[in-house]
Structure 1
């Protein structure tokens, strides 16, 4: 019975969890993270909530964070050995956002603000489910989203002010006495 229930849960949620992770990392790593996520789900299957998707997102997010921490440790060791710095890796989730202004504004937000907004806007989670993913209360998450939206709005407004084209300078009309001479 447990095996069949897990199989059904896996088939329903695997594509969603893979999409969630794929927006945050490369394809090879995404498959590894999703495999780890469902391995954890199997081990804790008896304790899964009725709606497991937010729980799976949280486990996937934690697995990805663990892998990224391990990569950073490995990069620091390699940096020490090589004796020079490394360029930071860009956030994969932002590379698929079409609007350049929005992408730039999202990049300026803190990772916590960006994650809160993407869980709501990109993943389509409600506040309760997103709070579960982040491991906080729904009230705390609502405050985070409110503040993140306010910061994003300010950044977008600032970008609009900076990108407005300068007013066109039209040539002043020639004085009437010059028009008469050239005619």
Structure 2
């Protein structure tokens, strides 16, 4: 995945830069039985991947990601999939599961908690202690952005929420940097986001 620092000479850079997926062509559509034979998943989930194209496409995106990751599905009362969510590149499997369930529940727009983790995979990367970073640093990519913030001179601000670091900026003053970073985050906020707030600034 292409990676870009949060802070550049132009003072601002969009969080979308480092969240952009690789440009490689990815297979789409429902799964074949041969493909599913390679997956260690429950029969109900397997059958859904054979029928539901939207779910299959989301799961294919998930499979293409790396790091500690988890994929959750919202099942209705009769066992029909209505929504999904996944977390990837997380510092721990606990964080990956939590984020997958949060996104799944948010996309379902339901008050009933019916999301279930259907797939997960741990990374072989060297583990990092979440306690060594702000609580918003939940992914390995967030660590890189946090370290870049620390090494950036001058007035600066970094913005995020419990789902990770979302934007960062330099400015002519601390207040200017904060305003720019918040504006970047809010431009990309969705109806399932957790808002934007300053993690650190100076």
TM-score, L = length of structure 1? 0.28
Task: Answer with 1 or 2: which has the greater Rg.
Answer: 1
TM-score, L = length of structure 2? 0.26
The structure richer in helix per residue is 1
